[in-house]
Amino acid sequence: MDAVEKRVRTFVRVKPTADFAQDMIKFGPDNKSIDIYIKKDAKKGVVNNRQTDWSFRLDGVLHNTSQELAYETVAEKLVSEALIGYNGTIMCYGQTGAGKTYTMMGATAEYKHRGIIPRVIQQVFKATAHSVRVRVSYLEIYNETLSDLLSTRTSSGTSDVPMAVVDCPQGVYVKGLSIHPVSHEEDALNLLFEGETNRAIAEHTLNKNSSRSHCIFTIYIESRFRVCSDVKCVNSKISLIDLAGSERLSKTRSEGQVLKEAMYINKSLSFLEQLIIALANPKRDHMPFRQSKLTHVLKDSLGGNCNTVLVANICGEAVHVEETLSSLRFATRMKWITTEPVINETYDREGTVKALEKEIILLKQELALHDSLVNRSLVTYDPLTDIQKAEIKSQVHKYLKGAIDEIDIVNIRQVQEVFKQFKLIASQQEHEVEARLRSKYALIDKNDFAAVAAVHKAGVVVVDGHLMQEENGRDLRTRTASFSSRHSGKKKSRKSNEQPKKEGIWTSPSGRDLVGFLPSKSQVINSTKDLDVREGARNQDTANIDTELSKPAPVEDSQRPSSPPSKPVAFEQFKEECGSEINRIFKENKSILLARKKRSTTVAQRINFIKREMEGIQKALEAQKQERWQQGEYVDEKGQIIIDEKEFSLIMKLKDLKEEYRSGYAELQDLKAEIQYCQRLVNQCRNKLISEFEIWYNESFLIPEDAREALKPGGNIRPGMIPINRVMCLEEDEQDRFERMQETTLPACPASVSFYRAKTKTDQKHAYTRTMSSLEKMHKKPGLITAAGKNKPLSFLHVM
């Protein structure tokens, strides 16, 4: 997808105050600009070049704005775009206590005051379908150390994988950061609140609950869908960044650990600023991403291929105007960073193949359903096996010979194979005929009158509208032959051309070449399920199967109170009832198989007989030749040998026998293929009969009555499933019941349920943890324990 160049969108949010410096901070009428005016410092004298007025133009100013409006302005569009595959980043920057955490997290005690992150989670889950995979991670950078706020690590902080920022072709990732799949809003909120309570917080003069770390809550969205036959994967992530606040050490009067934290924070923010300056300059080719952990982690979240939004949080009091100026400068620089958001989509070839396979299975099931509705229960749609192809070939040959009137076709593959066979035969015939003609005759263009006259003179016949000339008469005393006459059958052909002459006999070349498909008496088996064959012993018993089933039922069967019938007895019943159709097919296939075997024996015997007869004739011909040679040979005027009638009839007979032999041999080959195929069908039927019987036997006699009822169509379970009503009956505890009640009795804002549930869970969990640790500390001093947290009113947990 083509990227469209955009810029980072920047907003300024002013923390409400009763002491707003109206004369120093002014907003433009369109709410997109902010002017700062600082009075000249009289102490610096008359010559004072210090700038006193600044004007900043941004994408919006949020002043006295509710959390809801702030979200709509800053985040809603970005999240919508993330849902279609664009990465998005929202970052809050500003001096300490200016409202960054309030903007990102909000005051979590009250739903109305929840910040951007809980709202993003809500929007994501509102919009995503079940096929979308959502995961979250929560990273903290504290004093240049990466830590996982959702880690299951022990408090000692030991972890198998040391956390590190790693560059990869797709961007950067944090090695060792846990990423948690979440299936609904509440899950994600649980993790958010959980992580939030793990953040490093400290108190200083400007903020009682100052975040001492940079935190990045990331939501990964992965959706897959079909585009024609391809499976498209769209991946995106939304990075929600709450930076630690910059602070003037003099103002915050921090000391000790808090002072150390402040130094780290200021340093990393200063690297961030340098990076922003570099990113905003299109001429810069080196970007100092690696200067700090923060800038390195943000490598693919600032600009690049993502939608980026910055919220600069400022305080409205005059005393903070220097910091406000600094934040606005930062925002203005950010505004100059260009981005090229692109949809992160990939095609999953493996997924495509899987999806297609799934579709094939579905289509096959649909076909099977259709077949069973029209009583074509045994049709298969798999590619034809060699045996099936041989069977079709055999049917086509027989059809051409007139031995059968129809070719049984039940699916498209068979249609294609039949056509293929016809084509093959046609082209074989064409080549054979042409080769034979060429070996015997010279083909001359009939419009070439000179040539025609010449060949007429030499004794030529017209064959199928072409003039043909015999090249030589080596084999027999054949001079001319009406080729077309051979089409009407060899006997007729011979008769019509027989022009007995005293001095010799006219004969035609062998007609075998055109009779590749001599009528055969063999019968046809439907390659897949011709059950219409009426020959053979229809009532062949199923002795083999009976033997297999005569094994007694398992011991546990007999221990059952219902005492199921023995398998052989049950099998008889099965064949009469449910299994009657399979049994019928089995018997029919078996009878066809027997008939084929019988026919094959007959054909083999006949071939042997013909062979012996041919050998006899060959001997007789040899003797004739000897005799002719001894008596002296007759030759015509052209020097060609003239044979007598006896020898001629022997030759003709030998020719007929050869033909018969070939046709018998071909039939035998066909029969062999048929037998092989039939045998397979019989085996398949036998197995099917047994397996169906086993299922029927189990269902009828071994599965308990209530389970059988449930398994029936319309029953409440399918094999492998737990009845939903049983799942629903699983005991819920008091808390669950209470929460369910809350859900139904909170009609005013049903969307808040997940938020409150997650909040309650996290609070309970932490209250419990705190209580336990306090208890340990207090050593047998039970009483009232405080359970206070950031952005949360004090509450009390009674310890009994």
Ligand X SMILES: Nc1ncnc2c1ncn2[C@@H]1O[C@H](COP(=O)(O)OP(=O)(O)OP(=O)(O)O)[C@@H](O)[C@H]1O
Which stretches of the chain bind ligand X, using CB under 6 A? 15-16, 94, 96-102, 107, 207, 209-211, 244-245, 313
Give me the least distance between CB of 312 and ligand X, in Å please. 11
Nearest to 293 by CA among 130, 139, 419: 139
Closer of 116 and 244 to ligand X (Cβ): 244
Give me the least distance between CB of 221 and ligand X, in Å please. 26
Rounded to whole angstroms, the Cα distance separating 393 from 398 reads 9
Quote the DSSP letter at residue 636.
-
Residue 701 C-alpha from the chain's centroid: 40
Closer of 102 and 289 to ligand X (Cβ): 102
Burial (CB count <10 Å: 0-12, 13-18, 19+), residue 128? middle
Closer of 203 and 471 to ligand X (Cβ): 203
Which stretches does DSSP call E strand in 253-333? Answer: 306-315
Tokens of 491: 């006997």
Task: Spell out the residues 6+ positions from residue 274 whose beta carbon is closer than 8 angstroms to its own.
Answer: 288, 291
Give me the least distance between CB of 244 and ligand X, in Å please. 6
Backbone φ and ψ for 530, nearest 5 degrees, come out as -70, 105
CA distances, 732 to each of 727, 735, 740, 750, 764 (Å): 11, 8, 10, 21, 18
Give me the least distance between CB of 329 and ligand X, in Å please. 17
Closer of 109 and 775 to ligand X (Cβ): 109
Q: Are 628 and 592 in contact (CB under 8 A)?
A: no
Give me the least distance between CB of 173 and ligand X, in Å please. 26
Backbone φ and ψ for 142, nearest 5 degrees, come out as -125, 120
Closer of 65 and 344 to ligand X (Cβ): 65
Q: Are 287 and 275 in contact (CB under 8 A)?
A: yes
Task: Spell out the residues 6+ positions from residue 367 whose beta carbon is closer than 8 angstroms to its own.
Answer: 379, 381
Which residues are known binding-site members for ATP?
Answer: 94-101
Give me the least distance between CB of 322 and ligand X, in Å please. 16
Alpha-carbon Rg for the chain in angstroms: 47
Task: Spell out the residues 6+ positions from residue 215 whose beta carbon is closer than 8 angstroms to its own.
Answer: 138, 139, 140, 141, 149, 195, 199, 241, 242
Q: Give the CA count within 13 Å in the CB-facing half-sphere of 369.
A: 6
Closer of 114 and 655 to ligand X (Cβ): 114
Nearest to 432 by CA among 516, 331, 355, 365: 516
Taken in order 652, 654, 656, 659, is the CA torsion positive or negative? negative
Give me the least distance between CB of 16 and ligand X, in Å please. 5
Closer of 208 and 438 to ligand X (Cβ): 208
Chain residue whose CB lies nearest ligand X: 245
Give me the least distance between CB of 118 and ligand X, in Å please. 14
Closer of 94 and 511 to ligand X (Cβ): 94
Closer of 45 and 793 to ligand X (Cβ): 793
Residue 677 C-alpha from the chain's centroid: 35
Closer of 241 and 467 to ligand X (Cβ): 241
Give me the least distance between CB of 169 and ligand X, in Å please. 35
Task: Spell out the residues 6+ positions from residue 730 whose beta carbon is closer than 8 angstroms to its own.
Answer: none
Give me the least distance between CB of 90 and ligand X, in Å please. 14
- State the residue for tokens 């990102």: 104
Tokens of 52: 């006193």
CA distances, 507 to each of 319, 365, 470, 482, 649 (Å): 127, 62, 13, 10, 11
Rounded to whole angstroms, the Cα distance separating 705 from 691 reads 21
Closer of 75 and 785 to ligand X (Cβ): 75
Closer of 141 and 651 to ligand X (Cβ): 141
Tokens of 700: 């009828």
Nearest to 332 by CA among 284, 291, 273, 290: 273
3-class secondary-structure state, position 293: helix
Give me the least distance between CB of 335 and ligand X, in Å please. 21
Rounded to whole angstroms, the Cα distance separating 771 from 775 reads 6
Rounded to whole angstroms, the Cα distance separating 788 from 621 reads 121
Nearest to 26 by CA among 414, 316, 330: 316
Give me the least distance between CB of 764 and ligand X, in Å please. 23
What's the helix, strand, coil split of the chain in %, to 5?
50, 20, 35
Closer of 234 and 241 to ligand X (Cβ): 241
Closer of 107 and 666 to ligand X (Cβ): 107
Give me the least distance between CB of 52 and ligand X, in Å please. 27
Q: Are 111 and 67 in contact (CB under 8 A)?
A: no
Q: Are 520 and 663 in contact (CB under 8 A)?
A: yes
Rounded to whole angstroms, the Cα distance separating 541 from 524 reads 22
User: How far apart, in Å, do the first and last CA atoms of the chain sit?
Assistant: 63
Give me the least distance between CB of 51 and ligand X, in Å please. 27
Give me the least distance between CB of 21 and ligand X, in Å please. 16
Closer of 93 and 693 to ligand X (Cβ): 93
Which residues are known binding-site members?
Answer: 94-101
Taken in order 204, 209, 211, 212, is the CA torsion positive or negative? positive
